[in-house]
């Protein structure tokens, strides 16, 4: 049975449904109890599941992550919430040097089935320390899986898959997407990690977009359709593992590709996607240089207009697409 | 180390020079300042002096060979030094940047860079075709050379679509029978126009092509007579004329001038100026003086059109078209409006003589802002002179001949001359050109006005 709910509700529903079924699953983080978390995602959960399974923690991301790794090793399946993904810096030692490596180093004797949920991205006027998109950092670490859902439907299905996974998963929720809504089934369902979604079919240019950029790419595609330009929008949904096949197939068909994400372009995951395409069999079908769009190489400015200018917007995507078509 | 001898660049328009003669053989010793070789450019013949001392080790160009500007034409060095067997690439950029690579010849050089040449060379050196991977794949699959495909992308980048279109355009569809006939008669099918659907070549098309080839070859009668290759000054004149006529919308205005008073003036001044300078004053100088004076009042006609800009020249420099043995040369009389008739006579006669003797320097041939072409020594009245770009106007002068004209209601015989003014309609409109020509006519009919 389908109904329209928000991205935020979808995340909450995914956790609640799993917690009702599986006593090993619990959540921990700062102010996730009565307050409901920085963005209200866990609101109401402490009332249903109680303080044992919805655990308020001290303000220490290293402590939260360390506790999650430890409990996961004993057989629990923790979901930890970091208020802002910028604060992952404090938790990275636990995530990178412990969570990502223990299963490997001990030959599979122990495993770390944990999910790190954390809001990212700019656009809320939260300034330079609360607006970053740092997902490329964790994609670099073997042993971590990285997810960036763009719709409520994807969020629910991917979070289920993340909770079911026996490895640490970083689950990025874009702040601006919390209030977006889409049709979401009531029952539990799982979207396999490493399966991209073709959000729009097209023939002229492939746009590979993540998170909020999926929506901007779709807007750009709708604009360009009026000019007779047909855009295929691919949402990888999971950065690690990456569904290379879907991207390569699309680029082989269109011959032109624009990769767009909100993270700073330099060192961003778009570079990885572009390189993958260049190395793939799609190379011989490329009919224009691969184009990347990403954030400006500066901190996110604390000014509404400058903040907008920092990240790619719809007109930027349209321009980049036209450039690959020699129509700019 | 052996030093290069370069083809000098003697004017901003010079692209190549033709070697007329070498004064030194390979192995001869050369002093600084000694004439090394003589070249012909699009404007002049000039002896090129050596800038180095040593042995002429190598000459890369024979007499009558053309060498691009800045090309290495030879080497000067010490006995036994090795030099390349073929001339090195034209290092346009390098020669400009590297001080040690200055042309090793002592000639007047123009400092203006010829960037177009430099770019061309750079492109040639690159040698690679700019094409996308997709374009390369399609070209590879269809055995197409990418260098034949013109790219539609930025900086000529070849895209897949360009290759596909190229293949489509060059595809020859042919019936088996037509193909067989073509093979038999050795016909290149790409030359044959097909009359079938989608341009399919049929038997009849091939046969018609063979017939037309026969007809064409029989109708071209072998040309008899001496053949002279278009080169040197002749080629330069030819190129300049074609460029002028093709790019400039010419309009020619004519006007009759009563020369009665000019003849009086010339009669009066002839002995004076001959006594002063030894040269005989001719009508050309009086017309030049008048035109230069009037040009001062008509800056629009004394303009040059350079690319997209009209330059209203400060100086009035009159070019004087001089017929020489194998062409036409236009020396420039600088600031003609500031010179008196005696000086103008001396300068014009000197320049004319130098032009005929091929002795003009590049400086004496540049900077003219308006040209006068005088055919008055022949039985010519009016004509349509071709503008000497970047100038925007030229005055053709006809003969002075007695004609009946109506003066104050009665017919009188007067010495009349036709002036023909061609102007560049991109820069000048009809009315200002007409006003200029009218003032020239009035000034010649009343030359004393020049004194005012």
Residues A50-68 pLDDT 10s: 999 999 999 999 999 999 9
Residues A180-195 pLDDT 10s: 999 999 999 999 999 9
For testing the chain A interface, which of B134, B158, B162 should be mutated: the one with the most A CBs within 10 Å? B134
CB pair distance less than 8 Å for A287 and B136: no
| A273-283: average pLDDT | 97
In percent, how much of chain A has pLDDT > 70?
A: 100
Q: Name the CATH topology of B233-451.
A: Chloramphenicol Acetyltransferase (3.30.559)
Task: Provide the shortest C-alpha distance from residue B124 to chain A (in Å).
Answer: 24
CB pair distance less than 8 Å for A287 and B132: yes
CB B334 within 8 A of CB B316: no
Report whether pLDDT(B234) > 80.
yes
Instruction: Show the CA angle centred on residue A46, arms to residues A44 and A47, nearest 5°.
Output: 65
Tell me which residues of chain A have a C-beta less than 8 Å from any C-beta of chain B: 255, 283-289, 326
Per CATH, the homologous superfamily of domain B176-217 is: E3-binding domain (4.10.320.10)
Residues B338-355 pLDDT 10s: 999 999 999 999 999 888
Residues 6+ apart with CB under 8 A from B418: B254, B255, B256, B257, B381, B382, B398
Q: List the A257-264 sheet strands across, edge first.
A: A197-200, A231-235, A205-209, A257-264, A291-295
Higher pLDDT, B200 or B444: B444
CB pair distance less than 8 Å for B134 and A326: no
Residue A11 CA to residue A42 CA, distance in Å, equals 9
Domains and CATH numbers, chain A: 2-185 (3.40.50.970), 197-324 (3.40.50.920)
Integer angstrom CA distances of residue B253 from A51, B272, B375, B392: 103, 35, 16, 14
| Ordered DSSP codes for B388-448 | -TTBSEEEEEEEEEEEEEEETTEEEEEEEEEEEEEEETTT--HHHHHHHHHHHHHHHHSGG
Residues of B within 8 A of A288 (CB-CB) are: 132, 153, 159
CB pair distance less than 8 Å for B159 and A283: no
What the block records as the tokens of B354 is 């130098």
User: How much is the mean pLDDT over chain A?
Assistant: 97
Instruction: Find the CB nearest B135 among A287, A289, A326.
Output: A287
CATH number, domain B3-121? 2.40.50.100
CB B370 within 8 A of CB B393: yes
* Beta-carbon count within 10 A of B439 CB: 19
Going by pLDDT thresholds of 50, 70 and 90, the confidence category of residue B129 is: confident
Residue A263 CA to residue A269 CA, distance in Å, equals 8
| B61-72: average pLDDT | 86
A215 is annotated as an active-site residue: no
Task: Decide: helix, strand or coil at residue B3.
Answer: strand
Going by pLDDT thresholds of 50, 70 and 90, the confidence category of residue B21 is: confident
Nearest CA in chain A to B135: A287
Which pLDDT does position B100 carry in this prediction?
Answer: 42
Instruction: Find the CB nearest B160 among A283, A287, A289.
Output: A287
> Is residue B134 within 8 angstroms of chain A, CB to CB?
yes
Residues 6+ apart with CB under 8 A from A61: A82, A87, A88, A89, A90, A91
Report whether pLDDT(B79) > 90.
no
Q: How far apart are the first and last CA of chain B?
A: 66
CB pair distance less than 8 Å for A255 and B161: no
User: Residues of CATH 2.40.50.100 domain(s) within chain B?
Assistant: 3-121
Going by pLDDT thresholds of 50, 70 and 90, the confidence category of residue B115 is: very low
| B407-431: average pLDDT | 94
CB pair distance less than 8 Å for B137 and A285: yes
* Beta-carbon count within 10 A of A2 CB: 11
> Is residue B135 within 8 angstroms of chain A, CB to CB?
yes
Instruction: Find the CB nearest A283 among B133, B154, B161.
Output: B133
The tally of CA atoms less than 13 A away on the side-chain side of residue A142 is: 3
Residues of A within 8 A of B161 (CB-CB) are: 287
Higher pLDDT, A238 or B208: A238
Nearest CA in chain B to A328: B154
For testing the chain B interface, which of A252, A256, A287 should be mutated: the one with the most B CBs within 10 Å? A287
Report whether pLDDT(B78) > 90.
no
User: Residues of CATH 3.30.559.10 domain(s) within chain B?
Assistant: 233-451
Number of CB pairs < 8 Å for A and B? Answer: 29
**Interface list for B 284-313 with A (CB within 8 A):** none
CB A30 within 8 A of CB A81: yes
Q: Is residue A5 within a helix (H) or strand (E), and if so which, with residue range?
A: strand A2-6
User: Residues of CATH 4.10.320.10 domain(s) within chain B?
Assistant: 133-170, 176-217
CB pair distance less than 8 Å for B153 and A285: no
Report whether pLDDT(B91) > 70.
no
Nearest CA in chain A to B156: A326
Choose the CATH number for B133-170 among 3.40.228.10, 3.30.365.10, 4.10.320.10, 2.70.160.11.
4.10.320.10
CB A153 within 8 A of CB A199: no
Residues of B within 8 A of A286 (CB-CB) are: 132-134
User: How much is the mean pLDDT over chain B?
Assistant: 84
CB pair distance less than 8 Å for B137 and A284: yes
Nearest CA in chain B to A285: B134
Nearest CA in chain A to B162: A287
Going by pLDDT thresholds of 50, 70 and 90, the confidence category of residue B90 is: low
What the block records as the tokens of A159 is 């979070």
| Ordered DSSP codes for A22-72 | -TTEEEEETT-STT--TTSTTTTHHHHH-TTTEEE--S-HHHHHHHHHHHH
Residue B63 CA to residue B22 CA, distance in Å, equals 7
Q: List the B16-22 sheet strands across, edge first.
A: B66-68, B16-22, B35-40, B45-50, B105-106
Residues 6+ apart with CB under 8 A from A172: A85, A118, A119, A120, A133, A135, A146, A147, A148, A149, A211
Which pLDDT does position B107 carry in this prediction?
Answer: 41
Integer angstrom CA distances of residue B30 from B57, B78, B278: 10, 11, 41
Instruction: Show the CA angle centred on residue A263, arms to residues A258 and A264, nearest 5°.
Output: 90
Report whether pLDDT(B86) > 90.
no
Task: Provide the shortest C-alpha distance from residue A281 to chain B (in Å).
Answer: 11
ipTM above 0.90, yes or no: no
Nearest CA in chain A to B153: A326
* Beta-carbon count within 10 A of B339 CB: 21
């Amino acid at each position: 049975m389908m109904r329209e709910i928000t991205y935020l509700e979808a995340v909450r529903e995914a956790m609640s449904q799993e917690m009702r079924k599986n006593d090993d699953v619990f959540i921990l983080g700062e102010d996730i109890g009565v307050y409901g978390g920085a963005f209200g995602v866990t609101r109401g959960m402490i009332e249903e599941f109680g303080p044992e399974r919805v655990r308020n923690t001290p303000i220490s991301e290293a402590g939260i992550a360390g506790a999650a790794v430890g409990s996961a090793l004993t057989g629990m399946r923790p979901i930890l919430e970091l208020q802002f993904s910028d604060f992952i810096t404090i938790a990275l030692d636990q995530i990178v040097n412990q969570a990502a490596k223990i299963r490997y180093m001990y030959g599979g004797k122990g495993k770390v089935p944990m999910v790190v949920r954390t809001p990212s991205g700019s656009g809320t006027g939260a300034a330079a320390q609360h607006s970053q998109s740092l997902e490329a950092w964790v994609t670099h670490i073997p042993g971590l899986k990285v997810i960036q859902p763009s719709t409520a439907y994807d969020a629910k299905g991917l979070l289920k898959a993340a909770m079911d996974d026996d490895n640490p998963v970083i689950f990025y929720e874009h702040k601006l997407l919390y209030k977006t809504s889409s049709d979401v089934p009531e029952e539990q369902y799982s979207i396999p990690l490493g399966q991209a979604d073709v959000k729009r079919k097209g023939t002229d240019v492939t746009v590979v977009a993540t998170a909020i950029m999926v929506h901007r790419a779709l807007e750009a595609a709708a604009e360009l359709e009026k000019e007779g330009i047909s855009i295929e929008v691919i949402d990888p949904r999971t950065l690690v593992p990456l569904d290379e096949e879907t991207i390569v197939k699309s680029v082989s068909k269109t011959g032109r590709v624009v990769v767009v994400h909100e993270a700073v372009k330099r060192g961003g995951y778009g570079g990885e996607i572009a390189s993958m395409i260049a190395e793939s069999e799609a190379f011989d079908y490329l009919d224009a240089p691969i184009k990347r769009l990403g954030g400006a190489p500066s901190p996110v400015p604390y000014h509404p207009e400058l903040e907008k200018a920092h990240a790619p917007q719809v007109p930027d995507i349209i321009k980049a697409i036209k450039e690959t078509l020699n129509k700019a | 180390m052996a030093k290069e001898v370069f083809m000098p660049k003697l004017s901003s328009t010079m692209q190549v020079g033709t070697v007329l003669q070498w004064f030194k053989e390979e192995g001869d010793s050369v002093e600084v300042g000694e004439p090394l070789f003589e070249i012909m450019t699009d404007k002049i013949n000039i002896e090129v002096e050596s800038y180095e001392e040593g042995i002429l080790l190598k000459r890369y160009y024979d007499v009558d060979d053309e060498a691009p500007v800045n090309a290495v034409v030879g080497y000067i060095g010490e006995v036994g030094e090795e030099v390349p067997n073929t001339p090195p690439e034209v290092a346009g950029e390098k020669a400009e940047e590297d001080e040690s690579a200055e042309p090793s010849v002592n000639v007047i050089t123009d400092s203006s860079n010829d960037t177009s040449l430099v770019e061309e060379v750079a492109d040639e050196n690159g040698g690679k075709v700019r094409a996308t991977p997709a374009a390369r794949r399609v070209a590879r699959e269809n055995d197409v050379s990418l260098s034949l495909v013109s790219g539609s992308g930025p900086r000529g980048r070849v895209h897949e679509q360009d290759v596909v279109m190229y293949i489509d355009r060059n595809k020859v569809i042919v019936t088996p029978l037509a193909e067989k006939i073509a093979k038999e008669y050795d016909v290149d099918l790409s030359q044959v126009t097909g009359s079938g659907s989608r341009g399919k070549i049929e038997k009849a098309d091939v046969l018609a092509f063979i017939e037309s080839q026969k007809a064409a070859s029989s109708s071209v009668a072998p040309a008899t007579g001496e053949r002279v290759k278009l080169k040197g000054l002749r080629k330069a004149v030819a190129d300049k004329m074609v460029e002028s006529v093709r790019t400039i919308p010419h309009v020619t205005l004519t006007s009759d001038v009563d020369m009665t008073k000019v003849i009086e003036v010339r009669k009066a001044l002839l002995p004076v100026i001959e006594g002063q300078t030894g040269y005989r004053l001719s009508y050309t100088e009086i017309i030049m003086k008048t035109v230069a004076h009037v040009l001062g009042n008509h800056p629009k006609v004394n303009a040059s059109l350079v690319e997209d800009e009209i330059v209203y020249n400060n100086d009035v420099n009159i070019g004087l078209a001089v017929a020489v043995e194998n062409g036409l040369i236009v020396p420039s009389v600088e600031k003609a409006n500031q010179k008196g008739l005696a000086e103008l006579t001396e300068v014009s006669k000197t320049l004319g003589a130098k032009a005929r003797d091929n002795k003009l320097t590049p400086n004496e041939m540049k900077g003219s802002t308006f040209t006068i072409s005088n055919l008055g020594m022949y039985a010519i009245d009016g004509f349509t002179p071709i503008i000497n770009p970047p100038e925007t106007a030229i005055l053709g002068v006809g003969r002075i001949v007695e004609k009946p004209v109506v003066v104050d209601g009665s017919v009188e015989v007067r010495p009349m001359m036709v002036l023909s003014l061609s102007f560049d309609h991109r820069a000048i409109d009809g009315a200002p050109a007409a006003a200029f020509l009218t003032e020239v006519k009035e000034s010649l009919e009343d030359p004393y006005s020049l004194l005012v």
